[in-house]
A = this chain, B = another copy of it.
Amino acid sequence: MPRHSIASAMIPARPPLVVGVLRGKREESTHQIHAVIARDDGSLVAWHGDPQRQTFPRSAVKSIQALALLESGAADRFGFTPAELALACSSHAGTPLHVETARSMLDKAGFEPEALECGAHWPLEEASARALARLGDEPCQLHNNCSGKHAGFLAVARHLGLDPAGYVAPDHPVQKRVTATLAEVCGVRLSSANRGTDGCSIPTYAMPLSSLATGFARIGTGASLSAARQAAFERLRRAVADHPLVIAGPGRFDSRVTATCGPRVFLKSGAEGVLCAAIPEAGLGIALKAEDGALRGSEVAMAEMLLKLLPTPTTEERALLNELRVPSLKNWQGKHVGFLGMILTSHH
């Protein structure tokens, strides 16, 4: 049994972090955030809330799900570019950049967009959604924020000579491989007992938040991973750092932090308020989950944590994180009417 499982079974819950939404000078709403900071050996550096909280990582683990693409050899066989690798790790905004990158991945692997089983939704970025409507178009599966990840799954299926149909099902060989890899990196057992279905139809597996933090520490340091897996993560981290807009979109938290911090922070959000990060040079992984699912709360907490944990941040890093830890609340006229921020409690 890995060390952290034994240790974490004895870890008591503490009060969660609290992020307040202030309108004028009054607290209008609050978010409770579970937070774990872990090392790559599974030991915990600090935590708030319940470090054992069973948490669906959702899209936060896309980089781990993308490992199969590199480890199988599919990415090299089809000549995927760094931007395409970044898109496989991305929850994208559906801008033309994202859509064309996904289309290129499918082209290279010999698929039509119809092969994607993620479902369609309007681009998350307003301007792209409006532009599509203006053309009289409807969104297709390429616009789905997960289309890059799914294009990667299809490429793996093609490369391994598998029937791609139904590649989203838990018992399809592609998902079996992806799930096994996720279990290895995070050091957990994953089974149908902790399985749910994600928004894009693939399985998502609940795991303790501490395991998610440990997994992210390992993404950063490569500890306990094979040399090939270390190299794969390095390649993905570099691809994401070089293409910050690809992993989310204009103005989005993930893209802004990545654009400013580059390879120093590897960060990814997931639905329902999950937000994870690796700080490779500090050997740390961070996993956050807003109890209520509100990403706005997790983002504030993550900005605070990065400000504390990033070794000697640059002026630009400090400026960005200081902005993101107290985001302004604006009304429809664009007037500042309040802000979000961490509420200090007696613990730390």
Complex alpha-carbon distance, A136 and B130, angstroms: 9
Does the CB pair A197–B134 fall under 8 Å? no
* Choice from B23, B133, B204, B292 contacting A292 with Cβ under 8 Å: B292
Q: CB distance B29 to A292 under 8 Å?
A: yes
Q: How far is the CB of A276 from chain B (nearest CB, A)?
A: 16
B206 touches A26 (CB 8 A): yes
Asked whether, in the complex, the Cβ of B272 is within 8 Å of the Cβ of A28, the reply is yes
List B contacts of A198 (CB < 8 A).
Answer: 331, 337
- Hey, which chain B residues are within 8 Å of A126, CB to CB? 122
Which residue among A144, A293, A335 has the maximum number of chain B CB atoms within 10 Å of its CB?
A293
Is A294 positioned at the interface, with any CB of B under 8 Å from its CB? yes
**Are B201 and A332 interface neighbours, CB within 8 A?**
yes
Give every chain B residue within 8 A of A79 (Cβ-Cβ): none
Partner-contacting stretch, out of A94-102, A113-121, A159-167, A177-185:
A113-121
A152 at the interface (CB under 8 A from B): no
Q: How far is the CB of A31 from chain B (nearest CB, A)?
A: 5
Q: For the complex, is A21 an interface residue (Cβ under 8 Å from B)?
A: yes
A216 at the interface (CB under 8 A from B): no
The answer to whether A26 and B194 touch across the interface, beta carbons within 8 angstroms, is yes
Query: From residue A28, how far is it (CB to closest CB) to chain B in Å?
Result: 5
In the bound complex, residues from chain B placing their C-beta under 8 Å from that of A29 are 272-273, 290-293
A196 within 8 A of B: yes
Q: How many residues of A contact B (CB 8 A)?
A: 50
Indicate which residue in B28, B136, B199, B332 contacts A118 across the interface (CB closer than 8 Å). B332
Report the bound CA distance from A121 to B333 in whole Å: 9
**Complex Cα gap A51–B23 (Å):** 20
Q: Does A209 contact B (CB under 8 A)?
A: no
Tell me the nearest residue of chain B to A23, going by C-beta: B196
- How distant is the Cα of A206 from the Cα of B23 in the complex, in angstroms? 10
Q: Is the CB of B28 within 8 A of A293?
A: yes
CB within 8 Å of B: which A187-223 residues:
194-201, 204, 206
Partner of A56, one of B28, B122, B129, B195: B28
Known contacts A56-B23, A201-B332, A28 near B196 by CB under 8 Å: yes
> For the complex, what is the distance from the CA of A144 to the CA of B331, rounded to whole Å?
12
Q: Per-residue CB proximity of A109-152 to B under 8 Å, as 1/0?
A: 00000000111111000100111011010000000100000000
Nearest B residue to A117 by beta-carbon distance? B333
Q: Is A104 an interface residue (CB 8 A)?
A: no
Closest to A22 in B: B196
Interface centre among A30, A54, A272, A291 (most CB of B within 10 A): A291
Cβ contact within 8 Å between B26 and A197: no
Say if the beta carbon of A334 comes within 8 Å of chain B: yes
Q: Are A119 and B291 in contact (CB under 8 A)?
A: no
A197 to B331, CA, bound (A): 8
Does A331 lie within 8 Å of B293, measured CB to CB? Answer: no
**Given the interface contacts A28-B272, A56-B26, A272-B29, does A335 sit within 8 Å of B201 by beta carbon?**
yes
Interface 0/1 of A266-293, CB less than 8 Å to B? 0000001100000000000000001111
Between-chain CB contacts (< 8 Å), 10 pairs:
A21-B272, A23-B196, A24-B196, A24-B197, A118-B333, A196-B338, A198-B337, A199-B331, A199-B337, A292-B292
Q: Which 4 A-B pairs have the closest CB atoms?
A: A119-B332, A29-B293, A24-B196, A133-B133
